[in-house]
Structure 1
Amino acid sequence: MNEQLAAPSSSPVEIHRWVGVVGAVLAPTTLVTALCYYFGYVYTRKELAFFGVDCDALGLTSTDYVRGSVTVLYAPLLLLLVGWFAAVWIGEYAGRSIRTGQRPHFVRNVARTALAVGAALILTGIAGVWAAGYTAHLTVISWAFSPIALGLGGLLTIAGYWVLVASRAEQTSDKPTPTARVSQVLAISVMVLALFSLMHSFASWLGNSDAQAIANGLWAKESVVTVVRDERLDVPRNLVAETLVEAQPGQPPAFRYQCFRTLVARSDLWVLVPAKWSSTNGYAVIVPAESAVVSQSRSSTYKEIAEANPDPVEVPWECPERAGP
């Protein structure tokens, strides 16, 4: 009787190995994507909130937030890579100096000083977090003070402990005690939390700063927006120009609105603000994308008018295009 041999299946060990490889790749990718989404959300929310717009009401996608995180993460990641490179070389040089046994007492004193300063910075950072939460008008503690103090404190604590252990390696071969291991884990955790808090504060600050830059450039922005609708918009007459458009016979007239600038442009909706927008006299409107007509380039006459009148508050008309011929 002929028996058919079944194809050999993968062994459990091989399957577990591939599962481990896939998990090692997907886990960091998921974490990085989640961080990009979070910091992009914080940045976008702060930027739009400056103009009185809630980003949750726009239905922005995860891709929009991840794309916005590039602005937030580029400079910090560059500094982090440079700092990591410098730390590796400094650690290599310090380890080589310690192994030579030169000035052991001085090295240990430096390590103890680093531990003491690190502990003091951690306590100061914790006090700063507590004070910032309970004292609303405390101007000494800025948004970056507590995270930087906590991060530097954790770094100095780890570095001081490493130097102290390395300088005593020849005298004792004992492994780190459980207390020392827990202290290292706590110090690293403090550094990670401090870095996260610092990035959160930086994203909020950058979103507000970029929003101010956008607001300052609305008056002389190259692209202008005209909205044409069958229904009348409830817009302030001192910021937006409204004109009646004659329609074809048998059709209702339409309303044309000028002096708008683009804040958010999507395939389904646009967020527009007046060219004369200000924090004390601001207005934003959300319109369907099909009702917005965009002029991508303004004539040289309008550009000269905007450059000749850099302060829109001082001019009597709504926007440069309304003052043109």
Structure 2
Amino acid sequence: MADERSQAERWISFAAGIVTPVTLVSALLFYFGYVSARSQYEYFGIDVDTIGLSTQDYVMRSPQPLSVPLLVLMLLAVAALLLHKAIHPTPVAVRRAARITVVILLIGVACLLAYPLIGQAAYYALVVPAVIGLSAAVLAYLTYLRGKADPTAGSQRVLIVLLAAVTVTCAFWTAATTAQYTGRGLAKSDARHPNRFPVVILDTKEKLALRSPGIEETALRAGAGQTFNYRYRGLRLLVVGENRLFLVPANWSASNTTVVLPLDSSIRVQFQFENDPP
């Protein structure tokens, strides 16, 4: 009985060791996908929470905004490993490098504290965490080298752990900022190339007061069994939400608006073929 309980405990511990990292990764993917989608649809005047995207939708959107930060982090890790194997610094060189790194770190912290003054500067949210995170990582490495070269200096584990925490926090901040920039970049790219969206021909029972330029309204002729009275052309499908359609004009303009319609019997939607014969 004791052996069975011990084996069951081992299986539970093993499963927990797998589930916890998977849950953490899924949460991070959801967060970065949400940040990117929020920035993307804000460009079209939509609060992403009104669309009703699922958790899976956000997770599926996360690889694109995360690809660049992950690639940069991997390249930096490879470069750091190669540099570690190639150099043999002297204690004097380590101390000098540490002083320079501390100065750079203090500059980054000063910029962080000066957010009310310079927080609106271009790329502030990307440059400041990158400077703080990289300098903290370098300082942690130099602290490790100093402790290895001088055993009498005492344990520096607490300092290294704190600097590692600063590095991870700044990496998270940088990745979130990159996801935000990626979402806005995707939105602007979509606005420049609206042909990426499906062409929508919309029939409605009531007249829509659409103010965006380029949208054509046609009154449909009354007939037996005809319940739709107006047809609209010049619209593209931006996204399908929870029982709703989000439509945008085919040509971008600052005066455009996003049309939100219920996906029910009050409208009739046709999706036009692409002009690309087989």
Q: Which runs of 5+ in 2 are unaligned?
A: none
Contact 1:128 1:145 in 2 (8 A): no
Could you tell me which residue of structure 1 aligns to residue 121 of structure 2? 139
Q: Percent identity?
A: 27
Gap change, CA 1:140 and 1:223, over 3 Å in 2: closer
Shift of 1:119: 2.0
Q: How does 1:1-325 map to 2 (within 5 A)?
A: 8=1, 10-94=3-87, 97=88, 107-132=90-115, 134-135=116-117, 139=121, 142-168=124-150, 172=151, 176-177=154-155, 180-218=156-194, 220-221=195-196, 223-236=198-211, 238-265=213-240, 268-278=243-253, 280-289=254-263, 291-298=268-275
Could you tell me which residue of structure 2 aligns to residue 5 of structure 1? none
Q: Which runs of 5+ in 1 are unaligned?
A: 1-7, 98-105, 301-325
Shift of 1:12: 4.5
In 1, Cα distance between the equivalents of 2:228 and 2:21? 57
Shift of 1:140: 6.9
Contact 2:197 2:238 in 1 (8 A): no
In 1, Cα distance between the equivalents of 2:27 and 2:122? 33
Which structure has more relative contact order (CA 8 Å, sep 6+)? It is 2
Amino acid corresponding to residue 240 of structure 1 in structure 2 = I
Contact 1:266 1:289 in 2 (8 A): no
Gap change, CA 1:121 and 1:11, over 3 Å in 2: farther
Gap change, CA 1:191 and 1:53, over 3 Å in 2: same
TM-score (norm 1): 0.76
Give deviations 1:267-319, integer Å, cap 9, x for gaps: 733211101222x212101224463211131379xxxxxxxxxxxxxxxxxxx
Contact 1:43 1:69 in 2 (8 A): yes
Give deviations 1:65-102, integer Å, cap 9, x for gaps: 111111111222122223223323332344xx4xxxxx
Instruction: Give the superposed CA RMSD.
Output: 2.5
- DSSP-derived class of the 1:273 partner: strand
Contact 1:113 1:160 in 2 (8 A): no
Gap change, CA 1:59 and 1:237, over 3 Å in 2: closer
In 2, Cα distance between the equivalents of 1:19 and 1:88? 36
Amino acid corresponding to residue 272 of structure 2 in structure 1 = S
TM-score (norm 2): 0.88
Shift of 1:11: 4.5
Highest Rg: 1 or 2? 1
